[in-house]
């Protein structure tokens, strides 16, 4: 092994929980990866920006490529929130957040508590976050259930999915350890507010 380069086996040499995972009727012992191990892989070049992955529930999963519309909406939604909130919130665009010891996803957009300086030495955590936004087309099921569960379990107060298939906003609130207890759907012509800033009203058509 070349000096200064760490192998995958060296990164994963520590024992971590092996929960029972059901697949095709069989029980598998899943070896989960921690956020620390995941970050070590990035730091030592085992994972790079070319890999297009994120860590969810201890599993490294591939991120779907963003199409033209998805990328454009990412910028549009960011502009809308900046215009509505100004310097009352920091907007992070497709950057990592640490939910717990086993999840470091990269949401499309996050509204976080200022100031910027407190994030120079660490990623955002649940206590820093006002709102998470995911833009979903082919990833709709993953964003609704896998990421929705992870965000709810980490007590993210409000989670919004831009459903490109139906051109609607799915607004999830009241997180529990399993899921969100409140789900509202808004269509073109509707307006909704932000849980952290109830006086701020957003028109659905402005996000599409």
Cα angle 184, 134, 18; round to 5: 100
* Both tokens assigned to 175: 């997180």
At 31 the pLDDT is 86
Whether 11 shows a pLDDT value over 60: the answer reads no
Burial of 207 (0-12, 13-18, 19+ CB in 10 A): buried
| Gap between the Cα atoms of 149 and 147, Å rounded | 5
Q: pLDDT-derived band of residue 112, with 50, 70 and 90 as boundaries? A: very high
pLDDT in tens, 145-174: 999 999 999 999 999 999 999 999 999 999
Reduced to 3 states, what is the DSSP secondary structure of residue 115? coil
At 23 the pLDDT is 56
Give 134's Cβ-side CA count (13 Å radius).
26
| Gap between the Cα atoms of 104 and 50, Å rounded | 17
Whether 80 shows a pLDDT value over 70: the answer reads yes
At 65 the pLDDT is 87
CB-based contact 67:137 (threshold 8 Å): yes
CB-based contact 30:58 (threshold 8 Å): yes
At 172 the pLDDT is 98
At 6 the pLDDT is 44
| Gap between the Cα atoms of 196 and 49, Å rounded | 32
Position of tokens 């896998």?
Answer: 146
At 9 the pLDDT is 46
At 22 the pLDDT is 57
Burial of 9 (0-12, 13-18, 19+ CB in 10 A): exposed
Q: pTM for this structure?
A: 0.86
Radius of gyration of the chain, Cα coordinates, nearest whole angstrom: 18
| Gap between the Cα atoms of 56 and 150, Å rounded | 8
Whether 79 shows a pLDDT value over 50: the answer reads yes
Q: pLDDT-derived band of residue 21, with 50, 70 and 90 as boundaries? A: low
Q: pLDDT-derived band of residue 104, with 50, 70 and 90 as boundaries? A: very high
């Amino acid at each position: 092994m070349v000096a200064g380069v760490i192998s995958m086996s060296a990164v994963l040499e520590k024992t971590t929980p092996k929960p029972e995972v059901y697949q095709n009727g069989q029980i598998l012992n899943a070896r989960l990866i921690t956020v620390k191990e995941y970050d070590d892989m990035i730091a030592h070049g085992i994972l790079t920006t070319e890999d297009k992955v994120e860590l969810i529930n201890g599993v490294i999963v591939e991120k779907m490529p963003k199409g033209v519309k998805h990328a454009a909406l990412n910028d549009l939604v960011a502009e809308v929130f900046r215009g509505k909130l100004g310097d009352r919130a920091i907007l992070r665009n497709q950057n990592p957040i640490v939910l717990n010891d086993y999840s470091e996803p990269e949401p499309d957009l996050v509204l976080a508590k200022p100031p910027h300086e407190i994030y120079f030495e660490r990623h955002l955590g649940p206590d820093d976050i006002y709102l998470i936004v995911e833009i979903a087309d082919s990833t709709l099921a993953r964003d609704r259930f896998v990421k929705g569960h992870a965000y709810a379990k980490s007590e993210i107060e409000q989670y919004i999915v831009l459903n490109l298939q139906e051109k609607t906003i799915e607004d999830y609130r009241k997180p529990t350890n399993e899921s969100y207890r409140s789900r509202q759907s808004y269509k073109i012509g509707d307006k909704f507010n932000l849980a952290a800033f109830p006086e701020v009203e957003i028109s659905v058509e402005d996000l599409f």
